[in-house]
Amino acid sequence: MINQQERRQAAQALTEAHRTCKPIRQVSQTWPGMEIEDAYVIQQMWADERVKNGARVVGHKIGLTSRAMQMASKMTEPDYGVLLDDMLFADGARIPAARFNAPRLEVELAFVLGKPLGGKNVTIYDVLDATSYVTPALEIIDYRTEVPRHICDTIADNAAAAAMVTGGRIVRPMDVDLRWVGATLAKNGVIEESGVSAAVMGHPAMGIVWLVNRLARHDITLEAGHILLAGSFTRPTPVAAGDTIHADFGPLGSIGVSFS
């Protein structure tokens, strides 16, 4: 563990890296005693500073939802990050690549809550009942530290969350079998990735089950209107200025964005 002052210093360093878009040394190397709980406190300090400066929390993202990614990160569970209002982009957006360091795209589903969701022992049925609608989404992940990264670096760095895009067709959670939502991701007209949402813990809502129960340790309740990125079901695809992206979710429509 590291002390509160060291946590605050790490959060300040990540805040500066975000502001300047210049990666810093891995925080786990600068503060080698850092543990996972330290990393989550640092993440929260970073988010609190962003809110203090005018940002607004609009939800959370869940990462490391596949067993392969957990094994690669030497984790036994997913991780999470905070979504802020200035991270949101709509379908058709032209996104400035310069606001990121090394952006990559992931294909996901976003759950939007219709009522608060919190407490211990939350089940998938509670999640589906609390969800107003589900919509296709893309998450833009980024590094604000150098690589390679320890899991503490990723968590402290807001679980790599940098931005997200929503679009396509919205559906109520019981209107389709959410396990079998498929998607392809094309970059500049070439399909780079494809996947099916059952790859996220068997059902994309299971990532949210984990998140709610994890946040219950800190007495945090998710609010009505919050957006929850349920986890990627494709590998990350690098993007750069000049790239055009088209994600096709079949019956759920598509998302198209470009990077300037």
**DSSP letter string over 149-162?**
--HHHHHHTGGGEE
CB atoms within 10 A of CB 121: 9
- 3-state SS class at 76: coil
**Helix pair angle (4-20, 36-52), 10° resolution:** 60
Query: E strands of 25-155, at which residues?
Result: 57-63, 79-84, 88-90, 94-95, 104-113, 131-141
What is the reported pLDDT for 15?
96
What is the reported pLDDT for 75?
76
What is the reported pLDDT for 32?
97
Going 185 to 84 to 153 to 95, the CA torsion angle's sign is positive
CA atoms of 87 and 149, how far apart (whole Å): 23
What is the reported pLDDT for 76?
77
What is the reported pLDDT for 61?
97
CA angle in degrees (0–180, nearest 5) for 87-198-150: 55
* Total domains present in the chain: 1
Q: Which amino acid is at 95?
A: I
CA atoms of 236 and 162, how far apart (whole Å): 13
What is the reported pLDDT for 93?
98
CB atoms within 10 A of CB 38: 23
CA atoms of 158 and 143, how far apart (whole Å): 10
CB 94 within 8 A of CB 258: yes
Range of the domain at 99: 4-259
What is the reported pLDDT for 129?
98
Q: What share of the chain is helix, strand, coil (3-state, %, to 5)?
A: 35, 30, 35
What is the reported pLDDT for 233?
93
> Residue 227's beta-bridge partner residues?
59, 112
What's the pTM value of the predicted model, to 2 decimals?
Answer: 0.95
User: What long-range pairs does 240-244 form, CB within 8 A, spacing at least 24?
Assistant: 240/97, 240/103, 241/97, 241/98, 243/187, 243/188, 244/187, 244/188, 244/189
Q: Which amino acid is at 54?
A: G
pLDDT per residue, tens digit, the chain (260 aa), is 999 999 999 999 999 999 999 999 999 999 999 999 999 999 999 999 999 999 999 999 999 887 756 766 677 789 999 999 999 999 999 999 999 999 999 999 999 999 999 999 999 999 999 999 999 999 999 999 999 999 999 999 999 999 999 999 999 999 999 999 999 999 999 999 999 999 999 999 999 999 999 999 989 999 999 999 999 999 999 999 999 999 999 999 999 999 99
CA atoms of 235 and 150, how far apart (whole Å): 19
Element (H, E) at 197: none
For residue 126, what is the domain's CATH number?
3.90.850.10
**Nearest 5°: phi and psi at 181?**
-75, 120
